Amino acid sequence: MFMKNLEYKNYSGSIEYSREDDLLYGRVLGIKGLISYEGKTGQELEADFRIVIDAYLSDKKNVSNDILGWNK
């Protein structure tokens, strides 16, 4: 089955291939800023995508807590 996008925790990510680098890569869609991920295989690509989404959500939560003063 061919997937056009990766999906995780209500976020989508593109799937691209670099022939020059023999590497799959992508970027998280629908957010401000650029978050990218990569892998040699589809499994590696999806694992890296999940890692960057979890990191993004953790950073987003920490920034919100800082603004609200909850991290003091």
Q: What is the CATH number of the domain that holds 16?
A: 3.30.160
Strands 36-39, 23-29: parallel, antiparallel or unpaired by DSSP? antiparallel
Assess if residue 16 is contained within a domain.
yes
Assess if residue 55 is contained within a domain.
yes
- Has residue 59 got a pLDDT over 60? yes
Which domain covers residue 14, as residue numbers? 5-64
pLDDT higher for 27 or 1?
Answer: 27
Q: Which of 3-7, 42-46, 67-71 has the lowest mean pLDDT?
A: 67-71
Domains in the chain: how many in total? 1
Average pLDDT in the chain: 86
Q: What sign has the CA pseudo-torsion 55, 58, 29, 12? A: positive
Assess if residue 28 is contained within a domain.
yes
